[in-house]
Structure 1
Amino acid sequence: MVRLVGVDLPANKNIEVGLTYIYGIGPASSKEILAKAGLDPFLKVRDLTDADVVAIRDAMKAFLLEGDLRREINNSIKRLVEIGAYRGSRHRKGLPCRGQRTKTNGRTRRGKRKTVGLGKPKEEKT
């Protein structure tokens, strides 16, 4: 098992797929890193040599990954909230900030439905 940027890559997967387990690397970034390192994308993670791992690490230095990327995203959101931008207010309220409708959809951001109502009518004493 190879460990890169604090993430254990699964030994039985191709290196192209294994790199996508790292936050900030998707399929396209994975192909780009492997092209820079000069490695075959279909090579298994368990078959990597130490020289291959060093080449991958060098190629990954151009990317923001894991904790640094998360910190960058959180700082951007905090900045939007602090300057009072519309997108910042949407983040604060937990609503979509890219113009989607929210009357009927948007359940991913808004969460599970909360039923609003009176419930059973109470009987009055006579």
Structure 2
Amino acid sequence: MPRVIGIDIPDKKRLEIALTYIYGIGRSVSNDIIARLKLNPGMRAHELTQDDIAKINTLLQNEYVVEGDLRRQVQNNIKRLVSIHAYRGSRHRAGLPVRGQRTRTNSRTRKGKRRTIANKKK
């Protein structure tokens, strides 16, 4: 398995898909990286040479915010919203949907498993 900026990417997948296993890289950024480094997007990740991996590492470290730095940045943004008592911050604190979705039904991802009235939180 090739290691790109400390993350093992799957070696059997095509390069444009394998790069998306890095937090902060989606399909469009992956395709952009491949185009800038003039790599073949259809090649498998295990076909990367050490030189190609080094090029990808330097490009990601210099041009993009990914992995730990991006996670830290997102957490700091949420902490800032909570600390200034913004509406979105209060929704984060309460564990409810932040972007205006309905909560009477749905929103199970944020609210968790349903509880009966007898098991109601006090």
TM-score w.r.t. the length of structure 2 is 0.90
What is residue 100 of structure 1 aligned with on the other side?
A: 101
What is residue 9 of structure 2 aligned with on the other side?
A: 9
The 5-angstrom pairing of residues 61-100 of structure 1 reads 61-100=62-101
1:56 paired with 2:56, answer yes
Deviations 1:26-51 (A, max 9, x none): 11111011111111101111111122
Aligned length: 118
SS in 1 for 2:63: coil
What is residue 121 of structure 1 aligned with on the other side?
A: none
Q: Which moved more, 1:10-19 or 1:51-60?
A: 51-60
Contact 1:36 1:59 in 2 (8 A): no
Q: Which moved more, 1:2-11 or 1:89-98?
A: 2-11
Identity in percent: 53
Equivalent-residue separation in structure 2 for 1:8 and 1:19 (angstroms):
10
- Letter of the structure 1 residue corresponding to residue 101 of structure 2: Q
- Letter of the structure 1 residue corresponding to residue 111 of structure 2: R
Q: Which structure: greater helix fraction? A: 2
TM-score w.r.t. the length of structure 1 is 0.88
What is residue 123 of structure 1 aligned with on the other side?
A: none
Q: Which runs of 5+ in 1 are unaligned?
A: 119-126
Equivalent-residue separation in structure 2 for 1:99 and 1:9 (angstroms):
35
Instruction: Give, in angstroms, the shift of residue 117 of structure 1.
Output: 4.1
Q: RMSD between aligned alpha carbons?
A: 1.4
Deviations 1:66-112 (A, max 9, x none): 11010000000000000000000000000001111111121110011
> Larger radius of gyration, structure 1 or 2?
1
